[in-house]
Structure 1
Amino acid sequence: MPSALPLADPAPDDGALPATVAEGAAERAFGVYLHVPYCRVRCGYCDFNTYTADEVRGTSRADFADQAIAEVALAARVLAEADLPPRPASTVFFGGGTPTLLPTRDLARMLDAVRGAFGLADGAEVTTEANPDSIDARGLADLAEAGFTRVSLGMQSAVPHVLTTLERTHDPENVPRRVAEARAAGLQVSVDLIFGTPGESLADLDRSIDAALATEPDHLSAYALIVEEGTKLARQIARGEVPPVDDDLHADMYEHLDARLASAGYAWYEVSNWARDETHRSRHNLAYWTGEDWWGVGPGAHSHVGGVRWWNVKHPAAYAQRLASGLSPAAGRETLDAETRRVERVLLETRTALGLPVSALDRAGRTAVAGLIADELVDARLALAGRLVLTARGRLLADAVVRRLLPEPA
């Protein structure tokens, strides 16, 4: 089942934000995330906030677009009442779940609501995730006509036994078809991979890399499989039905994947993301990693505006009921103090190729930099110039790097 929401302060029923969120807002980008929580089947490894039709009572997938549009209207009101300056959305991202299980006209209506409430910045990036079996050429063309600019296809693997372990049901032969159709519609294309699935070999990974690169995508994401507590896959491993994840093999796979992508002309810009060039990086995800503002629409969606973070109720029925009652769907929130924001900046910006200014570290963190250079975990030249950027080895040990930059108080 989906993981639990964080513990925090209750959110006000009207969603009102403190006046402090307006400070410096004109210098921050604004994006919108729309979480479509529906999937055709639940994959055994997934702990995202997603539901199949059989798991939802009290609301219908057919009503979801109207519910999301109602939250967009609430967002516009709340932000205006907090005296935030008008800011067109520079990025919009439809995630899930499988957004393309909804009719394309519903996705278009949701995007129109964002456009009407906030406007879209010139050159706005508008992305939807898609399962290769949940969209076709007509649907992709309709999305492009509605203003979408980008599609992110969940390939995960090209190897049948890996897809079976993950319980992914799509036909891998549909991936190149969808990429070609998306490109014909004028959309940029990202392909998502998962590596380190129990039973997957380096040869299996190579087969998936070959298949992904053959489609010539603009962008690739590749995530090491994390076995989340409470998932079906975790139970299968605990019972000995599936072999455990091999951390050493994970590391070998990451290094191999990174080398293969680099040789094919893709540069990393975040630990799990590669792009042909800067124009094809996911600007929406970069906004998360650099602490910009975004409003998350949908069940369980998280938002962040001006140092205030909140999250919605998780179940689609509870979400629908709150909106129908004229209430904010927010379940809880927290206001980040200056030190928490600094720590989160270190956690996130160290993962990117843009890196972290050494000036963002406290004295203990700055003291640790020399050791990171000596251990070849950060680029020495850039570190001496005042910016921390991970080496390939450092990316493998990113969590350990952060622990050294943020030592526990004595």
Structure 2
Amino acid sequence: MRSNYLRECFLVIIFLLAAIDWFSPTGELFRELGAKPFIIFVVITSFIYVSFYMKFKGMFGAFFIPLYLIIFFGFLGFWSGNFFGVDTVNYVRRPIYQFSSQLLMYLLFSLSLYPFSKLLSNFKDTAIIRSIIISSLIILFFFVLELFLPRVSHELLFLFRKNGVFIERPSSLMSEPSYYGTFGAIYGMTLLYYFFKKKNYLFLIIPFLLLATSFYIGAKTIVPIILLQIVYIFFNLRHKFSFYQKFLISIFCVLIFIIFYLFLAKYSTFDFNRNLSSIMRLGSTALSLNVIKDGYGVFGVGFGQFHFYYRDQFSPDFLYLSKEAAAQFSIFVNSRASTFNFYTRILIECGIAGFLCFVYFIFKIYSISDNTNSTMVEAKIFLTGSLAFLMTQDTYFYPPLFIAIAWIYSRYYEKESINNNNLL
């Protein structure tokens, strides 16, 4: 009994850490690698598990080959970038440092997936859902505390704020509202579907609170995430609806789109003169597309090398309105330049081949049968939300994406083990 309790506590910690985007002690010590405490915790846990309980050969099975091929194309891009890329001589950040640090991030992501999937296969679906519920309630508790007792909560939460800066809008254990909205959408929509499916209508208050609090603080990142999750849910259930039901669902989706548009307009998302964060994010993505258009996305330029392509010559005109972006153009800047879009980043840094490997791997994950397990759809809703968020960020190790892939593959691994045992 005690063993099961400790196992579920471990799972709660996993889902709690996955939502946290910044923790000062590890972030200041290990920079991007330690900013999200989930990464260090899971990597250490995964490799302890793989060392004591299983052989390493399973990590290099055919299923994960597309992920490992991206490593090769990242190397190939770095090599070709040395001959055909831009001049990087005077930059404070050195290309080899950028390459090594970002390669390490990707290696930790890809090599930890199999052992963590194997570890998750030891947990029942109900344990995973319970862990999402408990971690959500913990984060909601700190949100309410911050909402009604902001000064008191600041003393408790300063380690989760970059530079210890006090934020006007509550964001619980996240560094800013946009990350809270991301958590609310990914965890909330997963639980919403689960409780509707199980007809546990009383528990719908939990996902409702996650989504309502996200909208309350104006977390705009919630919009693309929920939209894509809704698309996936309806696509997955399309065979269960009549023509009339599909028509009503189409009207519902149009209404949802209008509501989201009005929500974004309320917070001046489309007004670049009033919303500088939109300038930085959309402008950086537009800059990355210009880099691709100039041919650097064919073979790629290598892991971490987009930093040196963040230049005036690729910049859209409106990006100059952002002081943050203007500072990033300097060769003396010490923070990594971001595309604010994972998909354009992997295309620039790993080339067309690396990008296609990633797309193929995600396709393989989605193609794992939903009929093998009762929570496979929930796991794919979690995955869809994670992939949607990566249209606004470009990290090589995004914890919710890591969990979603491991969750889905763990059910696949469980099914394969059962089939093999039956054959024996």
TM-score, normalised to structure 2, is: 0.29
TM-score, normalised to structure 1, is 0.30
- Larger RCO (CA within 8 A; separation ≥ 6): 2
